[in-house]
Amino acid sequence: MDNNQRILCIQSLGYNESEASFLCTAGLHSGFFLRRHYAAFTGKVPGYAGVALAEKALKYGHVKVTAMRHDRMLYHLCSKPFYTAMGEADNRNRREREPLAIKRRLMMLDFVLSNPASRFFPTEAEKVSFFGEELGIGNEHLPRKLYRSAGKGTSTMRYFVDKSPIYVEPSGNKNPSTVHFCYVDEGLHSTSGFEQHLREYRSLFARLARAELLYLACSPDRFLAAERMFTSQFGASNCKPVDPLATRVIEYFKVRDAYERRDMSGINQAKLIQLRADRAEFSDSKYEQLFSQWKRDGAATVIAILSPESIAKPAQTVQFRTHLLPQTYDLFGTVARSNSKGEKSHDDRK
């Protein structure tokens, strides 16, 4: 179901076209909204239209409302019939969230609304389809997480669980092939979440000709630290990233070769534990063959086989840019203040 179909289905619930279009955007990208978001969407001054939409959504039972600081109202699109109408009955935006996670989602919605001409991929299915069907990138290179059900003994692989905005510019842009990724800093006094984000996306970045990572925040406090972290992992902004899988396999081969030659001079207990784990993970026959090729031809053959994209696209560019959101998000007061360890930074992963 595309957005036009979604909007028509939402209209059938009792909304006009403008209201349905906004609710579609808010539901897919955030799940939460303020009345000012509808004003930003329509390009009008906040007023009666936002109030009317909120009252209608409340009347139909599609939202829950929470009174926040300064008499502002927070609306949560949590109705299953509403998401079912969009073809998203199991969308996790329906779930209750901690204040810091809600703030992050409002920031995401603000950014999306400020770029109305861009093509965003709000759902997991749309992102997987874009990278797989349009760009030819396999699912094994997408950020993913395996969820196991203890009771049923089943597992589910999910992709892009952080729900960060991903978009491309309109086709008339001078660099239409650039894929834009966003990291949303909801106000944590730590870059650990950003470091994890970079690790999860490295393999995907390695397979794109042009990519840009935007660091979104409502304060510039962490901009410099984030840029330094990006540079430490990717080098200068015009350098292509090294595929982490190829790097890991090469390191495994080095330790394995030394171990099999009984050269234990550089192998400690930690490396022995990692060697056992790597033997199990890379037990497939293709890695045995690759090990023989590595001993004969060196690291270049591993990179050529596991990460041909990093060689075939020498002009690859991965850029870093910061973006300061103008809103303050003070409606939460001190409830959304982060702790030093950033324990609330990944609510969207649950």
The whole model's pTM is what? 0.76
Quick check: 165 and 112 in contact, CB under 8 A? yes
Structure confidence by residue, pLDDT tens digits, 62-115? 999 999 988 889 999 999 999 999 999 999 999 999 999 999 999 999 999 999
The H or E element that residue 80 is part of is helix 80-85
Structure confidence by residue, pLDDT tens digits, 168-217? 998 765 555 899 999 999 987 788 899 999 989 988 887 888 899 999 99
Q: Is the pLDDT of residue 253 over 70?
A: yes
Helix (H, G, I), strand (E, B) or coil at 119: strand
Strand order in the sheet with 119-120: 119-120, 166-168, 179-184, 210-217, 317-324
Gap between the Cα atoms of 261 and 292, Å rounded: 14
Enter the tokens of residue 315: 């002009």
Amino acid at 231: T
Q: Is the pLDDT of residue 314 over 60?
A: no
Q: For tokens 């004969």, what's the residue? A: 296
Amino acid at 66: T
Quick check: 55 and 319 in contact, CB under 8 A? no
Q: What are the sequence ranges of the domains in the chain?
A: 3-96, 119-234+316-349, 244-306
Q: Is the pLDDT of residue 17 over 70?
A: yes
Q: Is the pLDDT of residue 237 over 80?
A: no
Choose the most confident range, by mean pLDDT, from 20-24, 207-211, 218-222. 20-24
Gap between the Cα atoms of 239 and 231, Å rounded: 10
pLDDT score recorded for residue 176 = 53
Over residues 223-232, mean pLDDT: 90
- CA torsion sign, 343 to 110 to 229 to 233? positive
Strand partners, 155: 148
Phi-psi region of 103 (alpha: psi -120 to 50; beta: other; left: phi over 0): alpha
- Binned at pLDDT 50, 70 and 90, residue 339 comes out as very low
Fill in the DSSP letter of residue 63.
E
Which fold is adopted by the domain 3-96?
Arc Repressor Mutant, subunit A (1.10.10)
- Binned at pLDDT 50, 70 and 90, residue 335 comes out as very low
- CA torsion sign, 238 to 243 to 248 to 253? negative
Q: Is the pLDDT of residue 40 over 90?
A: yes
**Count of Cβ atoms closer than 10 Å to residue 191 Cβ:** 19
Instruction: DSSP for 75-141, please give it.
Output: EEE--HHHHHHTT-TT-GGGS---HHHHHHHHHHHHHHHT-TTSEE--SHHHHHHIIIIIT---GGG
